[in-house]
Chains A and B, each alone.
Chain A
Amino acid sequence: DVKVTQSSRYLVKRTGEKVFLECVQDMDHENMFWYRQDPGLGLRLIYFSYDVKMKEKGDIPEGYSVSREKKERFSLILESASTNQTSMYLCASSLGGTVYNEQFFGPGTRLTVL
């Protein structure tokens, strides 16, 4: 069974704080993704990574950065949290390659920025 874990289920931070969201997968997947889920907007891709130290911008990268130093770990960083970054953050992973491979999601981190 693929397991994708996220470091926190709930997080409350203050405006201007630096925030780290951690994601770990245990299936040796090449690809990892960070999404945010907002009511009425569905899931939107922030960043993804197809290999260690590689990253690509998704649809809404502004205000975020990522780090992938090890294959199993993909971190999302909010350099200076703002209230409009209050959201549910979902991490996912999948096998790499040229064909589509199913994405497996973690349980999500609900971040509130005050």
Chain B
Amino acid sequence: DQQVKQNSPSLSVQEGRISILNCDYTNSMFDYFLWYKKYPAEGPTFLISISSIKDKNEDGRFTVFLNKSAKHLSLHIVPSQPGDSAVYFCAAKGANNLFFGTGTRLTVIP
């Protein structure tokens, strides 16, 4: 049973516009959330994270928002660049490991 869900398998955005990637989770005990980015033929790389005691964390063009009551987090990329085209996974920290979503493929169109 998927505890972390990304309901949009793909997203296309024009260069310079905002990309919004969404993630929902079911376990209210999760206390730390992460986004990973994956290029083809490479392993995922860490992008940004947020603790459950916060509702927003920003790092340059990337901002993660957490809505605990809705069990929802989102990643905003502004402005989007062609190099951001990749698969994005959200993940939630369990007791010993991470639970990953199914991924969203972002395509930024030049």
B97 touches A105 (CB 8 A): no
Please report which residues of chain A, range 33-61, place their CB below 8 angstroms from some CB of chain B when the two chains form the complex.
33, 35, 40-45, 48, 50, 56, 58
Interface of B is mostly: loop
Number of contacts between A and B (CB, 8 Å)?
Answer: 50
Shortest Cβ distance from residue B76 to the other chain A in the assembled complex, whole angstroms? 21
**Chain A minimum-CB-distance residue to B1:** A59
Identify which of B43, B46, B100 contacts A42 (C-beta below 8 A).
Answer: B100
Residues of B within 8 A of A44 (CB): 100
B29 CB–A CB distance under 8 Å? no
Give the size category of A's interface with B: 20 to 34
Chain A residues whose C-beta falls within 8 Å of the C-beta of B36 in the assembled complex: 105
* Most-contacted residue by chain B among A50, A58, A100 (CB, 10 A): A100
Structural contact, B44 and A33, CB atoms closer than 8 A: no
> Which residues 1-26 of B have a CB within 8 angstroms of A?
2, 4, 6, 9
Known A42-B103, A43-B89, A100-B93; contact A90-B98, beta-carbon cutoff 8 A: no
A45 to chain B: closest CB distance in Å? 5
Which residues of B have CB within 8 Å of A90?
A: 43-44
Q: In the docked arrangement, what's the CA distance between A102 and B41, Å? A: 20
Is B67 interfacial (CB-CB < 8 Å)? no
- Residues of B contacting A58 with CB < 8 Å? 97
Q: Which residues B64-107 have CB closer than 8 A to chain A?
A: 89, 91, 93, 96-98, 100-103
Contact yes or no, B97 A33, CB < 8 A: yes
Interchain CB contact under 8 A, A107 and B97 = no
Q: Is B32 on the interface with A (CB-CB < 8 A)? A: yes
Judged by a CB distance under 8 angstroms, whether B27 is at the interface is: no
A residues lining the B interface (CB < 8 Å):
4, 9, 33, 35, 40-45, 48, 50, 56, 58, 90, 92, 100, 102-108
A-B contact pairs, 13 of them (CB 8 A): A33-B97, A42-B6, A42-B101, A43-B91, A43-B98, A44-B100, A45-B97, A50-B96, A58-B97, A90-B43, A100-B32, A103-B46, A106-B43
- Rank and list the top 6 A-B pairs by shortest CB-CB distance, nearest first: A105-B43, A43-B100, A42-B102, A42-B100, A105-B44, A45-B97
